[in-house]
Structure 1
């Protein structure tokens, strides 16, 4: 029997292409294939996996991709419309599906696969609401298949080093964690020019973006949270933005002017060209241009939260999506010391001083600074390591540190984001285990 597993990819997104489809196809050498490759030879997963189908709502985008494959002498990948998903699972019978579609569609793909006892690898967030996360956990319990979630934020070298220090008892029991996260004005604005800007598609940035951060913090703490409470608002974007130019002229839009040279904004008529020159005719038609100040924007761009954990541990988190820099400060306090970490860059890409230094201070001892070198590959070297765990099998380090997120851990990350949205609306704390239909950890 072949050891190569057969995968259907649900959603031909930029993330789906870069992180899964191209590495599985072995298209990792940019010079050999006219620039269509992505990554390095270490990212070649063709000895472990093959793509046997693509499911998407946009037939034109998949056709464009298959035409590019044919120009490289590759065989086109069979296409199935979203409404043909059950047919694909029954007839093609993949070993697993890889879900890289917009967040609000994840539940449909995951639940469908579990009903057919087909394993799932899904992009984070696992789903877009706590209710959907609860449904996935219940379905997984009834299925012979499993769900794995790509929480790659655990994998950067500095984050693994922090986990090792905590696991070794260097600072004792974790008592509190504080994360101050910043998304710069270029990166932040991009979310408000995409589907993420509407809660029905993303759950809000509390789920789409911050669930990655919540998972990291839960992993460091080593526990699932019990409650979350917070505040948030739309301060930078939308129709009430203080930066909205009179008359809506793009030529006077400060966000557009700040990014004009980088080519981040879509062209004036709304058409999108994404990774490797592929277009999005279905998702972003040229007839529907998006603007940072549109009335349909209904999510927050600034919010803060506090979460409580068993044993009295607490977490404080804040983020804004129009910052003067990109990155985060983390402070982790324990019964026997503390760990501090700064990771960041300016809007123009220059690393901040002391970025990626881990400072360890013992309560009754010395302070030392650990220099951590980022590894090659996407997201600070995280993506190649994560892919190896998923497709070749977990490394000894992965098993030691618990790098691969479980479905329950991923569900808590979603519940924290959704719970924060609910708390902002109700001005009350939200019980997270209850949101997921789980018992509290005693």
Structure 2
């Protein structure tokens, strides 16, 4: 083995991973994330920085070209691994990652063809439909990032044309809010983004840095036998199965920690986002209240007292309670009665309240339909109402805040396959 091959192999001992989830694979995603954390493999948010593409869920036979585009925009050697149905056990996921790692190392030490060398020299060139957009945002922790208060972080956002001509956004002229004639650029966003609702596609009409309109779309949501993962305890109880109040509180807390971790990651608080995800995984693994209460309360206090975090996301996506109620929104987004920061605080308050019920073995009432994102007995799933309000919240906002607004609602597209739950409602 020559020196170059040895160096490539050494670099692949801890491959950089881009992990993406498809609709219907929500249960797989936390298990994959926990396994990657156990291995200390770095998780990246852009194809150009990734060695390994981990797809949670089996792609549909058609309409998965965007995954091919992501893989092509990864520097060679690159490997894609699909963790699909029937592989929810941590051991099966570990075996799949082991196999992908072996393939990656074998590819790394294989002789490099001349065309690959030329590709590596010109790696800065990326085909139009594989390009990455950058958005500036501020979201640094006052406690641990004082030296960077004025630093503007960059987030990589892979956008995929999803059928636009030659993969290029199309422009037209229109008046902006100041009366100037600016290009209106049509930009598709998603679904191949980290810290993004699985399968969500937003098509923006932009003038300058301002969102002029949004079309909401998504990948097909598979019809599955099991209920949506985050809603499972309430739906099982509604169908007569025995579920404890502790089971429901545990799932609610884990769901809100997952959502809070996503919002904090988008805002640039990677360390606190990672802490939220560790706590999520501990709860899903059955940790008791005593085992998690200390760290969870420290995390909540740290988030709640940061002026920098509040300044960076407050005012984005303002949704007053009357507008939310008129749009059919229920759950934390309704109760928050405010903006992205208010919705984050509402998740944290519900987590703290849920801790009190973690070890409650009393049965969950069959008529309790209060899932983590809202009522499960309404005329449409809670996340459908969240998707319906997205265009109004995003239109007129600056593009840099779009991801924060989406993350602060965190719709779960798995719920779109949910049939209405009928019967007496629990107030």
- TM-score category, normalised to shorter length: under 0.3
| The structure with more helix, counted as a fraction of residues | 2
TM-score (structure 2 length as normaliser)? 0.26
TM-score (structure 1 length as normaliser)? 0.25
Larger relative contact order, structure 1 or 2 (CA cutoff 8 Å, min sep 6): 1
| The structure with more strand, counted as a fraction of residues | 1
